[in-house]
Structure 1
Amino acid sequence: MVCALGAAVCFGTATVWQAMAARAAADAGDGGDAALLLRALRQWRYLAGLALDGVGFLLQVAALRSVPIYAVGAALASSLAVTAVVAARLLHVRLSRVEWSAVGVVCAGMAMLGLASGTEGDTGGSTALRWSMLAAAVAVLGLGAVGGRLTGRSRALLLGLGAGLGFGVVEVSVRLIDTLALPDLLTNPAAYALLIGGAAAFLLLTSALQRGSVTTATAGMVIGETVGPAAIGVLCLGDRTREGFAWLAVLGFVVAVAGALLLARFGEAPEPAEEKAAV
């Protein structure tokens, strides 16, 4: 759980630092997306954000090898609470009472999960599940193609949901990779599912945030990356709770995800001009 919460802190803080760097790069001159990215890459905050993303991913992998998927998924969703608090501090974004309450709700949900979570399941996962994850990763790409043709909230929701499903494929695939030895790794469908699912999720989320509602896209992502993987972990991989604490784990999961959904606008740190409007 320490690794899972550490990953949430890394991802949440990285979002704010990268947003600060992107704004500074935009103020430094004109140009397309490529020019903006090059200017952002010259700023320490953007590079530090990328480094934090890398550390967060390593912590996520370590957590997935130690605790149930449902706990890790809820912890990753709680990165929105970290983003909200860091944005309030560094970007001077004013949080409403409801949003501060949501931060508290997320913390309460994670505390309940921490008390109730057992160790990761001892079921290795079947060959069929590995191929299913690969098929799901490819399906995420197809979902992105369909969502890209839509407009408005439906576009943002579908692309955000697809991104969440892609991140969910990554979560499950980590558990299905039992060795890093090259002969076995290269023949494991879960390894390709992890790469394709992660890349597809990043592309879909980027597209959703560029031309759609941040709140809608992030809400779809939170649902996609928590509910499905949690169910697979319990039903297929043997994830369990501490004896007699199943009810607390379910309650903590629901509370943490609900709190994250209330903070969905922080899927991308708000612009300074939006601060007062968002309160």
Structure 2
Amino acid sequence: MICALASAVCFGTASVFQAVAARGTTAGSGSGSGSGSGGSGGSGVDARLLLRVLTQWRYLLGLALDGLGFLLELVALRTLPIYTVGAALAATLAVTAVVAAPVLGTRLQRAEWLAVAVVCGGLALLALSSGTEGHRAGTPALRIGVLVFAVAVLAVGALAGRLPDRARAAALGLGAGLGFGVVEVAVRLIDGFGPADLLTNPATYALLIGGAAAFLLLTSAFQRGSVTTATAGMVIGETLGPAVVGVAWLGDRTREGLTPLTVAGFALAVAGALALARFGEAPVAHPDAPAAEPGPAAEVAERP
């Protein structure tokens, strides 16, 4: 559980460091290209901005924290039920919200502080009530099924990119969450780490494809639609599906007699994370722009 929570801290803090680096690069570029939310043409990707931001120590530190967070997530997934790890990873948004308040100049409303408390309370209930990971290794059919699902997420995500703006962000975010969910399940289906074991296990390829699909779809969602909507879709996709697979096929269970407590903790953690979905967005503002009024409905007109 410590590894799962530490992973959330790493991911949430990394997001803030990367947001600071991206905002500083945008402000220092001095160009007004692409201003406004209704600009025409292009996907919003600025390769020159990416090259500039990779030279900033804050961004590189964020990448290092992402790598450490992923390693901690792997350890947690090998020892805890998937539903517990998924809920802990949803707490990344609570970490981002708290860290972003002083660093990025955002302000948490009373309702958002309450959401942070709800996430923490839900995780506390999960820590008290969740059992150990299930000991089922997963059938060959499940391994193949996860691989097929990973490919389907990538294919359907490509089609979702053609939807109208609001539906597109939600669909791409949900697809990204499902991709991250594939990674969570695939880790549990890898029972040997020798070269022969990895190369012959369909779950290995599901992990790689699911992770790549999640990254691509989430990046597209952030570039082409509401990041708040995309983040909410991602939280739902990466928590609910994997939790069901863990319980139904991998033997994840709660402590004896504490199933209602586990369900309540999971629901509270996910609900609190959804309430904080806007903090999946990196606030970016021009230096001469007036400060926006804080609040859950605050949206970013221009992103790096």
TM-score by length of 1: 0.97
In structure 2, the partner of 1:3 is 3
1:25·1:40 contact (CA, 8 Å) conserved in 2? yes
CA distances 1:165-185 after superposition (whole Å, capped 9, x unpaired): 000000000000111100111
Structure 2 counterpart of 1:278, which letter?
A: G
Determine the C-alpha separation between the residues in 2 that align with 1:274 and 1:188.
Answer: 52
Aligned residue-pair number:
279
In structure 1, the partner of 2:102 is 89
What displacement does 1:231 show? 0.4
Q: Does 1:221 align with 2:238?
A: no
Q: Please show how residues 102-117 of structure 1 align to structure 2 within 5 Å.
A: 102-117=115-130
Determine the C-alpha separation between the residues in 2 that align with 1:22 and 1:149.
Answer: 27
1:93·1:275 contact (CA, 8 Å) conserved in 2? no
Determine the C-alpha separation between the residues in 2 that align with 1:12 and 1:95.
Answer: 16
Q: Please show how residues 130-279 of structure 1 align to structure 2 within 5 Å.
A: 130-272=143-285, 275-278=292-295
Structure 1 gap segments, 5+ residues each: none
Determine the C-alpha separation between the residues in 2 that align with 1:165 and 1:275.
Answer: 33
Structure 2 counterpart of 1:165, which letter?
A: L
Q: Does 1:124 align with 2:141?
A: no
The 3-state SS of whatever aligns with 1:157 is helix
2:106·2:294 contact (CA, 8 Å) conserved in 1? no
1:122·1:238 contact (CA, 8 Å) conserved in 2? yes
CA distances 1:75-107 after superposition (whole Å, capped 9, x unpaired): 000100000000002112011111111000000
| Percent of aligned pairs sharing the same letter | 68
What displacement does 1:278 show? 2.9
In structure 1, the partner of 2:302 is none
Determine the C-alpha separation between the residues in 1 that align with 2:5 and 2:221.
Answer: 26
The 3-state SS of whatever aligns with 1:124 is coil
Greater CA drift, 197-206 or 28-37: 28-37
Determine the C-alpha separation between the residues in 2 that align with 1:34 and 1:214.
Answer: 20
Determine the C-alpha separation between the residues in 1 that align with 2:283 and 2:255.
Answer: 39
Greater CA drift, 136-145 or 250-259: 136-145
More helix by share: 1
1:94·1:276 contact (CA, 8 Å) conserved in 2? no
Q: CA RMSD in A?
A: 1.3
Determine the C-alpha separation between the residues in 1 that align with 2:118 and 2:291.
Answer: 24
The 3-state SS of whatever aligns with 1:278 is coil
Greater CA drift, 54-63 or 260-269: 260-269
TM-score by length of 2: 0.89
Q: Does 1:72 align with 2:85?
A: yes
Q: Does 1:15 align with 2:28?
A: no
Determine the C-alpha separation between the residues in 2 that align with 1:12 and 1:247.
Answer: 29
